[in-house]
Amino acid sequence: MLRYLTAGESHGQCLVAILDGMVAGLRVDKNFIDKELLRRQRGFGRGDRMKIEKDRVDILSGLRKGITIGSPIAMMIKNKDFSIDRLAAIYCPRPGHADLAGAVKYNRSDARDILERSSARETAARVSVGAVCKIFLSEIGMAVNSRIVMIGGVTSQKLMYERITSALKRRDTVGGIFEITATGAPCGLGSFTQSDKRLNARLAGALMSIQAIKGVEVGLGFESAKRFGSEVHDAIFYDKTKGFYRKTNNAGGIEGGVSSGEPILLRCAMKPISTLLNPLASVNIKTKKPSKATVERSDICAVLSAAVVAESVVAFELANAAFEKFGGDSLDETKRNLKGYLKQAKAF
């Protein structure tokens, strides 16, 4: 089983990720991980923090001469802005953020203790994990990519830029929708035997774990609720050369919790960032008196960055599903198992 943990605060010394269960024999390109981290930082509408931090990964364990050896992979991303102990206390929680609920849960009057971990800065660690998983997936013929569908209600690139610019002038924020496509996934990943083994459930859960994601669709998603069944389900065809296939992919590559062999299509709705330069009404935690919400350094729009994080969590879940199906402690063993399964599937 593949698993990971992350640690670190937004303005702490560093972010740390530990990826456990990765096969031995996988060559890991540190430059690729750094490029993925840079992708997470880019995008029109990002805040000043991205001008400060130059995210680079330090791989602390799990590799020898650039190749995995089967032990846990520890990765660290240092924070240039390491100011957590000097930052002001926060008593006026931001609507839409974890500030108030977290303060109540952990009995902390200073919401700084909450936002330092709940901040989306944490996703840099997840991108480092996802980058390693992408490298593994590429070895077994799979890839994960993303594209922006809509920002602030508009779909053309020109209007997206205008929408973000308008939000900046209004001292406001905007969200949007992005799409994730995973190609090369063979039929048979996931399972219908238990609810927590369903591939669509695992992918949706992973995507919903990303800060500010409020909705996830698979394939046609909510659109399928408006149509007749004959207009939704993907008819099955057979050819001696390519075996079973579909002419449509409304299911988004997953049927009954199991990958169908078609591209896996997922869409996410990201709400506008919670920190507003023109803050909403709030209440001071200590005095209980009305106040404006705290203003922290933040983004106007981070949809492009969220899409990169989404690629990472999807890559992890698909890599984990591949390990469950094909097993193996080494890359060579996993490839042999996959080859045997694909031969079996072709002959079905």
Mean pLDDT over the full length of the chain: 96
The stretch 168-190 carries a mean pLDDT of 97
Whether the Cβ atoms of residue 333 and residue 70 lie closer than 8 Å to each other: no
Q: How many CA atoms lie within 13 A of 183 on its CB side?
A: 4
Dist. CA 277–CA 298, nearest whole Å:
9
**pLDDT for position 242:** 84
Instruction: Give the chain's count of helices (H) and strands (E).
Output: 9, 16
Model confidence at 241, pLDDT cuts 50, 70, 90, reads: confident
Whether the Cβ atoms of residue 79 and residue 12 lie closer than 8 Å to each other: yes
Indicate whether 290 pLDDT > 80: yes
Model confidence at 48, pLDDT cuts 50, 70, 90, reads: low
- We report the CATH number of the domain holding residue 174 as 3.60.150.10
**How many domains does the chain fold into?**
1
Nearest by Cα to 56 from 82, 74, 38, 42: 38
**pLDDT for position 346:** 87
Whether the Cβ atoms of residue 203 and residue 310 lie closer than 8 Å to each other: no
Binding site members for NADP(+): 40, 46
The predicted-structure confidence for 62-98, as pLDDT tens digits, reads as follows 999 999 999 999 999 999 999 999 999 999 999 999 9
**pLDDT for position 348:** 87
**pLDDT for position 53:** 80
Dist. CA 22–CA 72, nearest whole Å:
7
Binding site members for FMN: 117-119, 211-212, 256, 271-275, 297
Domain extent for 72: 3-347
Indicate whether 229 pLDDT > 70: yes
How many Cβ atoms sit within 10 Å of the Cβ of residue 28? 20
The predicted-structure confidence for 142-153, as pLDDT tens digits, reads as follows 999 999 999 999
Indicate whether 243 pLDDT > 80: yes
**pLDDT for position 347:** 85
Binding site members: 40, 46, 117-119, 211-212, 256, 271-275, 297
Indicate whether 47 pLDDT > 80: no
**pLDDT for position 187:** 97
Model confidence at 238, pLDDT cuts 50, 70, 90, reads: very high
The predicted-structure confidence for 96-116, as pLDDT tens digits, reads as follows 999 999 999 999 999 999 999
